[in-house]
């Protein structure tokens, strides 16, 4: 087993990882920027090393400083969390070369899946259903036009290196293609430093359904069922749940099988997620694979009873998976709400600042993953997600009721949050009936 792990991240996910390490008897090293001197992850870890100024390019993305911290403190593993360096193949490679285990897949797999266009090509070649679109990346507007006419408008232009809902644009008609092409290319270049783009048919009124997988380094793999992440704003997830209201046992089994085929084709190891789009006729298509722990992993942990971070560490330590597919069972219903410090009335503008008063919900069936506390100052330079509330109950309706109760209890004074906005989603009749798709927020929430 790994002895000492450096957590190359901040916020709730860093805290989440430290907690499991502590339970496993593994020593932890936090890294922090000058803005995070008083952050919870900095305080909770056994040791903490400052790796640079607030700006993430100089701290949480600073490969040299992070590796130096790991070597100096004698770490034998690095957990990258999500965001930051978690999908950086170069970082994973240099960890390996420094004899520090990167807790994730091998760097060449990160590289392969990190280019979403190449990943789709590999899937297509292996008879895994993909969304119709360009075969590989698009080199010119003329090529874009030809493909769009062949597959039919509307289409989506997407950054091959994209993530976090950025670098994606819907194109309704021929007249819009020119401008959209240039915008996405620019956005791809500025956000991901890579202007490669690809095209997909726009699937109308779909669900985003993803399958969590675990694979060890000896070719054993299981899936942990699905998460429905269709409640999105600007292609970014807001609320997630497991199971999905539109997936029955048969479809779950089918999607699970395809997900495990993806694992095999990619020779994947560690935890990962295969994201699918499910259309109105319940056809499902591979969209991308996220080669890291995901924000919404707790809903899966709750319905399966498996600690995914613990499994990641065991796999990275070279252990074989301790269970088989038939051992995985699903119990009840779990929902997660992402609490952001932002103002929904001001176009969801982030709202950093000091938390003057804090009362987080609790009680039966409520889990809080957060890194904030009373008096904590949310820095303006990082992501606005400050907490996740996760609930579990026997049925979906009971889980919705429990989440509403939890949100009612929640007091976060001093900064604006999206709590009322989340509450309105949970009150919406269509949401309650399970009748929603990825357009839900745009259509139902009038924003
Ligand atoms: P999840 O499926 O885990 O919700 P997200 O796409 O929301 O994944 O990303 C999780 C976190 O990582 C978010 O903070 C998001 O902003 C960040 N992120 C994801 N991909 C990228 C990327 N390519 N570049 C920068 N940040 C990213
Ligand atoms: P990211 O890497 O930013 O997570 P994804 O490719 O996973 O980007 O897409 C993000 C979201 O955008 C999806 O969850 C879905 O809601 C929407 N989306 C992406 N591609 C399509 C498509 N071809 N048709 C309809 N919606 C799509
Ligand atoms: Mg995605």
Q: Which residues are catalytic?
A: 292
Whether residue 374 contacts residue 419, with contact meaning beta carbons closer than 8 Å, is answered with no
Task: Check residue 447 and give its pLDDT.
Answer: 76
Whether residue 166 contacts residue 191, with contact meaning beta carbons closer than 8 Å, is answered with yes
CA of 151, nearest ligand number? 2
C-beta 294 within 6 A of ligand 1: yes
Task: Check residue 74 and give its pLDDT.
Answer: 98
Of all protein residues, the one whose alpha carbon is nearest to atom 7 of ligand 1 is 164
Kindly state the average pLDDT of the residues 109-119.
Answer: 98
Task: Check residue 169 and give its pLDDT.
Answer: 96
Task: Check residue 45 and give its pLDDT.
Answer: 98
C-beta 82 within 6 A of ligand 1: yes
Whether residue 133 contacts residue 116, with contact meaning beta carbons closer than 8 Å, is answered with no
In terms of Cα–Cα distance, which of 216, 282, 277, 272 is closest to 248? 282
C-beta 237 within 6 A of ligand 1: yes
| Pocket test residue of 277, 294, 436 for ligand 2, highest count of atoms within 8 A of CB | 277
The 10s digit of each residue's pLDDT in 305-362 is 999 999 999 999 999 999 999 999 999 999 999 999 999 999 999 999 999 999 999 9
pLDDT band (50, 70, 90) for residue 367: very high
pLDDT band (50, 70, 90) for residue 370: very high
pLDDT band (50, 70, 90) for residue 208: very high
In terms of Cα–Cα distance, which of 200, 183, 188 is closest to 159? 188
Structure tokens at 88: 């950086």
pLDDT band (50, 70, 90) for residue 446: confident
In terms of Cα–Cα distance, which of 280, 258, 269, 414 is closest to 341? 414
Q: What number of other Cβ atoms are within 10 A of residue 163's Cβ?
A: 17
C-beta 9 within 6 A of ligand 1: no
CA of 235, nearest ligand number? 2
In ligand 2, which atom is closest to the CA atom of 167?
3
Q: State the Rg of the chain over Cα.
A: 21
Q: Which SS3 state, helix, strand or coil, does residue 394 take?
A: coil
Using the predicted structure, report yes or no on whether residue 417 has a pLDDT greater than 80: yes
Kindly state the average pLDDT of the residues 125-141.
Answer: 97
In ligand 2, which atom is closest to the CA atom of 287?
6
Phi-psi region at 155: left, alpha or beta (left = phi > 0; alpha = psi -120 to 50): beta
Q: Which SS3 state, helix, strand or coil, does residue 242 take?
A: strand
Whether residue 199 contacts residue 147, with contact meaning beta carbons closer than 8 Å, is answered with yes
Task: Check residue 175 and give its pLDDT.
Answer: 96
Q: How far is the CA of 88 from the centre of ligand 3 (A)?
A: 16
Of all protein residues, the one whose alpha carbon is nearest to atom 24 of ligand 1 is 163
| Pocket test residue of 165, 228, 244, 283 for ligand 2, highest count of atoms within 8 A of CB | 165
- DSSP 8-state class, residue 343: E
Helical segments of 54-88, H only: 63-72
Q: How far is the CA of 408 from the centre of ligand 1 (A)?
A: 28
Q: How far is the CA of 58 from the centre of ligand 3 (A)?
A: 26
Integer CA distances (angstroms), 171 to 37, 163, 240, 304, in order: 44, 19, 27, 39
Kindly state the average pLDDT of the residues 286-315.
Answer: 98
| Pocket test residue of 10, 82, 239, 382 for ligand 1, highest count of atoms within 8 A of CB | 82
Q: What are the beta bridge partners of residue 371?
A: none
Average pLDDT over the chain, rounded to whole? Answer: 98
What domains sit in the chain, N to C, each tagged with a CATH number? 4-103 (3.40.50.20), 132-201 (3.30.1490.20), 207-444 (3.30.470.20)
C-beta 290 within 6 A of ligand 1: yes
In terms of Cα–Cα distance, which of 271, 431, 420 is closest to 335? 431
Kindly state the average pLDDT of the residues 269-283.
Answer: 98
Task: Check residue 27 and give its pLDDT.
Answer: 99
Q: Residues near ligand 2 with C-beta < 6 Å?
A: 131, 156, 158, 162-165, 168, 200, 202-203, 206, 208, 232, 235, 275, 277, 287-288, 438
C-beta 69 within 6 A of ligand 1: no
Strand order, beta sheet including 4-7:
47-52, 27-33, 4-7, 77-79, 101-102
Q: How far is the CA of 379 from the centre of ligand 3 (A)?
A: 26
Task: Check residue 346 and give its pLDDT.
Answer: 97
Task: Check residue 228 and give its pLDDT.
Answer: 99
Task: Check residue 431 and give its pLDDT.
Answer: 98
Kindly state the average pLDDT of the residues 249-276.
Answer: 98
Kindly state the average pLDDT of the residues 259-274.
Answer: 98
Q: Which residues surround ligand 3, an ion (CB under 5 A)?
A: 275
Interatomic CA distance for residues 308 and 316, integer angstroms: 12
What letters, b where the CB count within 10 A reaches 16 and e where it falls short, cover 239-263? bbbbbbebbeeebbeebbebbbbbb
pLDDT band (50, 70, 90) for residue 180: very high
pTM: 0.97
pLDDT band (50, 70, 90) for residue 230: very high
Interatomic CA distance for residues 375 and 156, integer angstroms: 44
């Amino acid at each position: 087993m790994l002895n000492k792990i450096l957590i190359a991240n901040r916020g709730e996910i860093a805290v989440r990882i430290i907690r499991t390490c502590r339970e496993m008897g593994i020593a932890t090293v936090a890294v922090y920027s000058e803005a995070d001197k008083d952050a919870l992850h900095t305080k909770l870890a056994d040791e903490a090393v400052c790796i640079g100024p607030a700006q993430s390019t100089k701290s949480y993305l600073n490969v040299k400083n992070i590796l130096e911290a790991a070597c100096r403190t004698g770490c034998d593993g690095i957990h990258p969390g999500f965001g930051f360096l978690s999908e950086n193949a170069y970082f994973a490679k240099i960890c390996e070369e420094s004899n520090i285990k990167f807790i994730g897949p091998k760097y060449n797999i990160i590289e392969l899946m990190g280019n979403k266009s190449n990943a789709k090509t590999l899937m297509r070649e292996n008879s895994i259903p993909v969304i119709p679109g360009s075969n590989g990346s698009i080199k010119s507007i003329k090529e874009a036009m030809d493909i769009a006419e062949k597959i039919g408008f509307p289409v989506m232009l997407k950054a091959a290196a994209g993530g976090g809902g950025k670098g994606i644009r819907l194109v309704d008609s021929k007249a819009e293609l020119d401008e959209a092409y240039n915008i996405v290319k620019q956005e791809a270049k500025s956000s991901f430093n890579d202007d490669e783009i690809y095209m997909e048919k726009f699937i109308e009124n779909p669900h985003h359904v993803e399958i969590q997988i675990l694979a060890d380094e000896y070719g054993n793999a299981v899936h942990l069922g699905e998460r429905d992440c269709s409640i999105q704003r600007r292609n970014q997830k807001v609320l997630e749940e497991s199971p999905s209201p539109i997936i029955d046992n048969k479809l779950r089994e089918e999607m699970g099988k395809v997900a495990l085929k993806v694992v095999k084709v990619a020779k994947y190891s560690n935890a990962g997620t295969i994201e699918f789009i499910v259309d109105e006729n319940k056809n499902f298509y591979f969209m991308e694979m996220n080669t890291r722990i995901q924000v919404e992993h707790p809903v899966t942990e709750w319905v399966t009873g498996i600690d995914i971070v613990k499994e990641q560490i065991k796999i990275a330590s070279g252990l074989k998976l301790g269970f088989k597919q038939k051992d995985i069972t699903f119990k009840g219903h779990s929902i997660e709400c992402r609490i952001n410090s932002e103002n929904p009335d001001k176009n969801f503008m982030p709202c950093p600042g000091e938390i003057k008063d804090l009362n987080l919900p609790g009680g039966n069936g409520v889990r809080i993953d957060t890194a904030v506390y009373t008096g904590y100052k949310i820095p303006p330079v990082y992501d606005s997600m400050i907490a996740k509330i996760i609930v579990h109950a026997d049925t979906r309706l009971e889980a919705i009721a429990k989440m509403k109760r939890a949100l009612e209890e929640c007091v976060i004074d001093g900064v604006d949050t999206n709590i009322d906005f989340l509450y309105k989603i949970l009150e919406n009749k269509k949401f309650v009936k399970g009748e929603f798709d990825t357009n839900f927020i745009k259509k139902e929430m009038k924003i």
